[in-house]
Structure 1
């Protein structure tokens, strides 16, 4: 009995020690978890929330939207007089606070051409007394312009006042809602074409880096260690050079009177210089050069661990070099090719600096449009929707890749 009791006590003590170690390990990893949450999870969650949440109009004219809540926008009648009167009062107040332009901007996105109407009416209402607006503000507002009698304008005001909206995601698919609230195609296709172009550029870059990196990685893996180490320094050298310097150097190479055109003309190969800079080709060339090490390193790490005796055995048994390479060596390098392709593709589809500098209008990608909406147009909600769709695209491609190749086959070293 005494021995049994001691063994039970030892088991309990070992469990306590194990739990203590787990808590200690959690404390050590807690700073890393907090860092990941702050720098990765929280920004993505904020982006997803921002893409559907837009309370600007609801904060500018809350009382008017409360009056418009019971208005049947599907009918042909104007909003009730109380709603029009309250809108005139709040528009006057926004004019005094110099916020009428913000309301005009938001409504104009749903009803183009309404910005000037709201701004001009706000200036006129600023000169009107509050008592007059409280008595017949609806008549005063409607007297300013016939456009205030347009039902579609008030539908746009009510729709813009919804704090949660799907309009930004509809815009990313080049869709919109008509005045009746039905989804329809936009007249001009912008974002879907940009997504398709970004996808094509990323695929071209991935294929080019694979074609260039595979023979180089093979040579590095089979060369003597002394030579391979020296060449590996050249592969790693771009990581020690500024990305901006590497990108701008391509301007000197690809411009009309640059190194490439001057060399070709001096050799008599061309009569007129090629227009390479600020094109899609310039983006592909520059990004292929920048992302090439990301393809070489995974390939080299996999090829270095392949036993060369497999290929020699196949040759000794009578196989020809090329079929033996394709059937024996190439399948064993699939993990390296997969890792490099996935890494290059994900990086390239979201690249921003290189397309902005050397790509021009023709070579810009969806990331440049996202940056434009964040920095210039201040349309953060649309930028968040575009970014969310890009994230969903990458996750979908990653899922397809997992089904076809398998994530477990990825090896980075």
Structure 2
């Protein structure tokens, strides 16, 4: 088939990926740096603050512009979004702005909208900190959400600084996510490598039945599998009941709503993604290589480490990378079987997207996950000699 015909056949796939994957992902990630709420709702205030710098007195035209903006934004239903955005930096200002809009709207003709008027509504509305937050959110882009994803913020002068210790959570959550993902990857490798080796050493009929058992979890919903672990691992569940009957323990163990439950459930869910790449490569390793090493005097352990393991390295890299990336984005399993200190970064992305409506921070955390994943892939690709995704 000519080259131009093959290219033409790829166009539908490329268009599908562009429209339904690349474009939505790019739009979502752009929310991490876009600032549209405040300039849309408070255009006069933003314009009046153009030459103002924190530490200087707030110019009187700013208050007049704020009053007019509040009335028009309230009528256009854009004030709530701007108030929510400013509330991230100035705590409590959301309700204050809504109250100020009502006060301005009900003020009589000839009312003076100055610093004293807004200070009477709430002193925060006349403070330099509030207008500094408005100025930082003037758009069209800002680094506010990206800084927040790294537990950073800006002080009154606009300098970057670490947020208060009580608010430093996202870096710890990222490290927790990396730790859980790495632990699950190691567990899957330790459990999956022997299974993959066994599949290559038994006859074809037995291998087919074993492969069915490996693929069996894919026939069941992820939610059902995770819920099943809640039943199995609870204090009155099957695991504790068996250990009590065998006399291994004297009282039930706490295996659920903690890190143990998360590791067990995620390892069970992701184990097939480790076995399948391993089996695909291990099946292609000729068995006479090990016999040749043995005939040359190499002990079994030496033959395994010096001959078999290097040949399996591409499969180990591919399987580990696949499991790690999938584990990084897991949400349902940690949410159901983990405790409050076991939630991963995806939990916060989902929370800010569906519960609080903070799409900017959700996009920033998603971008943090994406960049971390790409960086780890680059490291794995480099360490594996360019074979991180190679299966042969």
Structure 2 length normalisation: TM-score?
0.94
1:392-411 residue CA offsets vs partner (Å, 9 max, x unmatched): 11111111112111333644
> 1:96: Cα distance to partner?
4.4
Deviates more, 1:200-209 or 1:267-276: 267-276
Q: Distance in 1 between matches of 2:373 and 2:76?
A: 44
Aligned to 2:298: 319
> 1:69: Cα distance to partner?
1.2
Aligned to 2:110: 132
1:134-172 residue CA offsets vs partner (Å, 9 max, x unmatched): xx2225334434333321121112222323110000000
1:285-315 residue CA offsets vs partner (Å, 9 max, x unmatched): 1010111111111111111111111111221
1:89-128 residue CA offsets vs partner (Å, 9 max, x unmatched): 2213334455544332221111123233323222222311
> 1:322: Cα distance to partner?
1.5
Q: Give the secondary structure class of the aligned counterpart of 2:364.
A: helix
The question of 1:53 aligning with 2:34 is answered yes
Q: Distance in 2 between matches of 1:218 and 1:26?
A: 40
1:74-97 residue CA offsets vs partner (Å, 9 max, x unmatched): 33312x222211111221333445
Aligned to 2:358: 379
Aligned to 1:4: none
Deviates more, 1:143-152 or 1:328-337: 143-152
Aligned to 2:45: 64
Contact 2:317 2:387 in 1 (8 A): no
Q: Distance in 2 between matches of 1:88 and 1:331?
A: 71
Aligned to 1:169: 146
Q: Distance in 1 between matches of 2:54 and 2:104?
A: 29
User: Where in structure 2 are the equivalents of 1:64-213 lying within 5 Å?
Assistant: 64-71=45-52, 73-78=53-58, 80-97=59-76, 99-129=78-108, 131-133=109-111, 136-138=112-114, 139-187=116-164, 188-213=167-192
Aligned to 1:24: 5
Aligned to 1:3: none
Larger Rg: 1
Contact 1:110 1:160 in 2 (8 A): no
Structure 2 runs not aligned, ≥5 long? none
Contact 2:262 2:337 in 1 (8 A): yes
Aligned to 2:205: 226
Q: Distance in 1 between matches of 2:359 and 2:259?
A: 27
RMSD between aligned alpha carbons? 1.8
Contact 2:243 2:249 in 1 (8 A): yes
Q: Distance in 2 between matches of 1:127 and 1:96?
A: 13
Q: Distance in 2 between matches of 1:54 and 1:365?
A: 27
